[in-house]
Amino acid sequence: MEDAYARSVSEVLEFFAVDPTKGLTDLQVTQHAHSYGKNVLPQEKSTPFWKLVLKQFNDLLVKILIAAAFISFFLALANGETVISAFIEPSVILMILAANAAVGVITETNAEKALEELRAYQADVATVLRNGCFSILPAADLVPGDIVEVSVGCKIPADMRMIEILSDHLRVDQAILTGESCSVEKELDATTATNAVYQDKTSILFSGTTVVAGRARAVVIGVGSNTAMGSIRDSMLMTEDEVTPLKKKLDEFGTFLAKIIAGICVLVWVVNIGHFSDPAHGGFLRGAIHYFKIAVALAVAAIPEGLPAVVTTCLALGTKRMARLNAIVRSLPSVETLGCTTVICSDKTGTLTTNMMSVSKICVLQSLNNGPMNSEYVVSGTTYAPEGFIFDSLGAQLDIPAQYPCLLHIAMCSALCNESVIQYNPDKRIYEKIGESTEVALRLLAEKIGLPGFDTMPSALNMLSKHERASYCNRYWESQFKKVSLLEFSRDRKMMSVLCNRKQMEIMFSKGAPESILSRCTNILCNDDGSTVPLSAHIRAQLEAKYNSFAGKETLRCLALALKRMPMGQQSLSFDDENDLTFIGLVGMLDPPRDEVRNAILSCMNAGIRVIVVTGDNKTTAESLCQKIGAFDHLGDFTGFSYTASEFEELPALQKSVALQRMTILSRVEPSHKRMLVEALQNQNEVVAMTGDGVNDAPALKKANIGIAMGCGTAVAKSASDMVLADDNFATVVAAVAEGRAIYNNTKQFIRYMISSNIGEVVCIFVAAMLGIPDTLVPVQLLWVNLVTDGLPATAIGFNKQDSDVMKSKPRKVNEAVVSGWLFFRYLVIGAYVGLATVAGFIWWFVYYNNGPKLPYTELMHFDSCSTRETNYACSIFSDRHPSTVSMTVLVVVEMFNALNNLSENQSLLVIPPWSNLWLVASIIFTMILHILILYVQPLSALFSVTPLSLAEWTVVLYLSFPVILIDEILKFFSRHSGIRFSFRFRRADLLPKREIRDK
């Protein structure tokens, strides 16, 4: 029944044909169970493990590598190699792919936990009326039409319509569903609001929420998937995880690279068709296979096999740094996404605020001398810890607050007219509450005021253990006064009273809504001397003005406190006793903003990131909080910047689009609105980060580009998020954004480094094939260079220091290419030099090296016809391992120098020297040690087809390698001086090509 909130009690009962005094019959239960199903959230089928594994290989580059591995294996067998030697190269490729697949499977398995943990918020049992009798049944057995009784502490087992309140009132904490900072009072009357949201449906008890005060009966109207909790589950199922900008760019790069690789491979093979029949190959078919193998080697050279591993490693290093900032990363790619975040949709309660109601203002009558004069006190401390001070109107701290009569009696009333509990949890090392948040705030106020008669107050309290300190002052007052009788809070009176006895003296303490308490007061307590004076119309008007100021402009939740001397020996209270009260004071409380939020939001604005406050609370409360934060002072007022969810939905499409670009506050939201906001912003090409802590936030957290859950939040929110804030602090989000930007900058640097290196390898093989000289490098050597000698320095580039102005620039665009325009030209030049230097080392050994054969260059070009001609050298010289070893060593050393070029995109090595990143220096040294090992250790040298080099050969290697630094220094000079930078245009300007970011 979807509109039960708008129907009367009798209409709802009639719809389900249920008698509220007897409940459903067994026959009706059976019929309803068949029609509506069980009261459980259906368990989704998890993706089979084998499908998750196969999904990881659904990538074009990966498919090309697999094909290259198998082709290489069969070609090696065709050339007469043993199975073991033929399998070396393919096995290395397959091991890398398996490692990357394992990381992907683990990530996707974690993502499915959110739906599982949603079930934890379902109640286990319920008190149900059936066949005229109450019984406790499993909540899963509930059916629509069941009459259920709930009381304090009960978790609501299903969506239910209130039919009877069995106490003075009923209040429910539904923060996990709506994000409201205070509990909500429920009532029997139908809701008349149009487009009602959860907060408007005050006659409905929602599944998974908790009763914090009162007792009531209700009829079940929705079970399982047809509940508010079920709609959240369905929303999460419909939400697909957003692909991160970097992942999109790498995917585009893969597609682009695959086309280039295919084109070059085919070109190399076709160009050499005339050489298929050369006698050296032993026939046309063998010649075709030989050049096909060269094409495969070209594919291996072009694909940066180590790129996924290096990206994963760099992001993992970033997560460690972010963990130190209290940001726990659950999804590695989200680290990079932070760097291009343009909008942060921040939950209000618990993120911008502490989610701990506390008293912030106190107003009492100071004195009647020279006319009535009010005193206003400010209370510090914003958590459940009994820590804080009282300050007077001039900002001076009160040393012993309890020596002031009004404050002393406020402490007594707060401690005694109270049903809540504060306790210290040693496992979590935090103070926790049990009961109404407003009553907890009063408990804490009593602790902050302290006790009278001790000169060492309140410092003496700090000597207690945390467990003793939690309620020391409250327990003192409870030991001094014996509670005799209690009048509970009711909606008509809007107050509660407690009768206490102390030393043959009876006192009634009362607390409640200011208008209710003031109307019953005839006297007022003075704070200067503790005297009681009549409450005149003038004083009453002053107090009402202060109340209106607290509740209006400052949006504080206000309570008034009063007392009354009762006749000796009175043992009970009646409503008539709540008259002729003596007014003690007025307290204003709020869920206070975190101290560090203001600077954090200003940092976002400086970084070009917009902050939208999203809350389930009402519009006035949200706007007041933003004013208290102080970061939105530049707006003046919030007209055109603040909307309720209903107001926003009713806007025409064009106005809605404009509102999205200006919006600062969206209030009165429910789960579907949060997800709608994320989608609307993403449709405007915004990169959205969403914070949240409740079950209601889970769909939006999953839909956002990066979902950020609070450490104290629900398990559902954490599982649906990409990142968890251990300290629940918005300021941590800003620090994480700065780290994300730095990580992206470093990621960009090592991607460019690896790409330029691979361009060099492609140029090397392509030029060798075009010149008709022997193979300069074999595939296993290329693999070694790509994985080890490229991978280690690339990973170390991830340790480049964060720029000092990283949060002073605008967010990068999501479609920004990693390498584009001028940069593409730069790295093409560097790559071309790397390839040409590698080929030059190979040719030098044959033509110019004194200990080499010193062949004429034409002989080298016609090496394949050596066996058919008479020569003054042995044809076996072309099988010598020295020239390919020189080429491979040139390739390794030139890339080490190129790694130093990537300490900065544009800054010279004279400005940012190598030792600014000692990890990079260490990786270069370690890489060279590894390379020397494979040259000089026999089993390894045979495996990689290399041989030891002489000093002369090493000297030439250095001569050929070092110029890459000089070339890049010249290119960096042009980059720094834009006035003399040349404009280069390419048909394909971006190495990571642009396309539409989202398919709408």
Task: Give the rounded percent of residues in the chain with a pLDDT score beyond 90.
Answer: 26
- Distance from C-alpha of 923 to C-alpha of 788, rounded to nearest angstrom: 10
For β-strands 581-590 and 665-667, DSSP reports them as unpaired
| Greater model confidence, 255 or 970 | 970
Tokens of 401: 């607050």
CB 497 within 8 A of CB 573: yes
pLDDT value, residue 748: 73
How far apart, in Å, are the Cα atoms of 914 and each of 503, 748, 891?
81, 18, 20
Q: pLDDT tens, 830-847?
A: 989 999 999 999 999 988
| Greater model confidence, 636 or 108 | 636
* 459: confidence class by pLDDT, cuts 50, 70, 90: low
Whether pLDDT at 85 is above 60: no
Question: Of 428-442, 811-825, 888-902, which gets the smallest average pLDDT?
Answer: 811-825
Whether pLDDT at 863 is above 50: yes
Mean pLDDT, all residues of the chain: 80
| Greater model confidence, 343 or 551 | 343
Nearest in space to 333 (alpha carbons), one of 312, 317, 354, 363: 312
- Distance from C-alpha of 29 to C-alpha of 365, rounded to nearest angstrom: 61
Q: pLDDT tens, 797-822?
A: 877 776 666 677 777 776 666 666 67
- Distance from C-alpha of 203 to C-alpha of 186, rounded to nearest angstrom: 6
Taking the CA atoms of residue 307, residue 811, residue 910 and residue 837 in that order, the dihedral angle to the nearest 10 degrees is: 30
Tell me the range of 292-306, 752-766, 981-995 where mean pLDDT is highest. Answer: 752-766
Cα first-last separation, the chain = 34
Whether pLDDT at 616 is above 90: no
Whether pLDDT at 744 is above 80: no
Q: pLDDT tens, 693-714?
A: 767 677 888 888 888 887 766 6
Which DSSP string corresponds to 116-176? HHHGGGS-SEEEEEETTEEEEEEGGG--TT-EEEEETTPBP-SEEEEEEE-SS-EEEE-HH
| Greater model confidence, 739 or 447 | 447
User: Which residue reads 């999501």 in tokens?
Assistant: 814
pLDDT value, residue 245: 61
Q: Is the peptide bond before 458 cis (omega within 30 degrees of 0)?
A: yes
Average pLDDT on 936-949 reads 84
Q: Is 351 helix (H, G, I), strand (E, B) or coil?
A: helix
* 88: confidence class by pLDDT, cuts 50, 70, 90: low
What residues contact 159, with CB distance under 8 A and at least 6 apart? Answer: 204, 205, 206, 207, 220, 221, 222, 223, 226, 227, 228
Whether pLDDT at 988 is above 70: no
pLDDT value, residue 305: 57
| Greater model confidence, 616 or 26 | 26
User: Which residue reads 């055109």 in tokens?
Assistant: 640
Report the Cα 208 to chain-centroid distance in Å.
24
174 burial (CB, 10 Å; 0-12 / 13-18 / 19+) is buried
- Distance from C-alpha of 416 to C-alpha of 419, rounded to nearest angstrom: 8
Question: Of 219-233, 287-301, 350-364, which gets the smallest average pLDDT?
Answer: 287-301
CATH number of 358-590: 3.40.1110.10
The CA radius of gyration of the chain, in Å to the nearest whole number, is: 37
| Greater model confidence, 28 or 267 | 28
For β-strands 210-213 and 170-173, DSSP reports them as antiparallel
Question: Of 675-684, 779-788, 830-839, which gets the smallest average pLDDT?
Answer: 779-788
Average pLDDT on 161-168 reads 88
* 280-314 per-residue burial string, b: 16 or more CB within 10 A, e: under 16: bbeeeeebbbbbbbbbbbbbbbbbbbbbbbbbbbb
Cβ neighbour number for residue 424 with a 10 Å cutoff: 19
Tokens of 556: 């504080």
Enter the DSSP assignment of 592: P
Whether pLDDT at 995 is above 50: no
Which fold is adopted by the domain 327-353+594-728? Rossmann fold (3.40.50)
Task: Give the rounded percent of residues in the chain with a pLDDT score beyond 70.
Answer: 81
pLDDT value, residue 247: 64
Catalytic residue numbers read 347
Which option is the CATH number for 9-43+124-238: 3.90.1750.10, 2.70.150.10, 3.40.50.10140, 2.40.128.120?
2.70.150.10
CB 264 within 8 A of CB 766: yes
| Greater model confidence, 237 or 673 | 673
pLDDT value, residue 805: 63
CB 218 within 8 A of CB 188: no
Q: Report which residue type is found at 61.
A: L
Which option is the CATH number for 248-318+746-801+814-977: 1.20.1110.10, 3.40.462.40, 3.40.1000.10, 1.10.3720.10?
1.20.1110.10
Q: Furthest-apart CA pair in the chain: how many Å?
A: 132
Which DSSP string corresponds to 831-854? HHHHHHHHHHHHHHHHHT-TTS--
- Distance from C-alpha of 102 to C-alpha of 916, rounded to nearest angstrom: 34
Whether pLDDT at 337 is above 70: yes
User: Which residue reads 């058919």 in tokens?
Assistant: 868
pLDDT value, residue 217: 93
Nearest in space to 838 (alpha carbons), one of 889, 780, 778: 889
Tell me the range of 331-340, 561-570, 728-737, 779-788 where mean pLDDT is highest. Answer: 561-570
* 723: confidence class by pLDDT, cuts 50, 70, 90: confident
Tokens of 577: 């006793």
* 281: confidence class by pLDDT, cuts 50, 70, 90: low
Q: Where are the domains of the chain?
A: 9-43+124-238, 248-318+746-801+814-977, 327-353+594-728, 358-590
Taking the CA atoms of residue 375, residue 376, residue 377 and residue 382 in that order, the dihedral angle to the nearest 10 degrees is: 160
Which residues partner with 566 through β-bridges? 506
CB 591 within 8 A of CB 356: yes
* 115: confidence class by pLDDT, cuts 50, 70, 90: very low
Which DSSP string corresponds to 221-289? EE-GGGSHHHHHHHHHHHPPPPPPHHHHHHHHHHHHHHHHHHHHHHHHHHHTGGGTT-GGGTSHHHHHH
Whether pLDDT at 129 is above 60: yes
pLDDT value, residue 121: 45
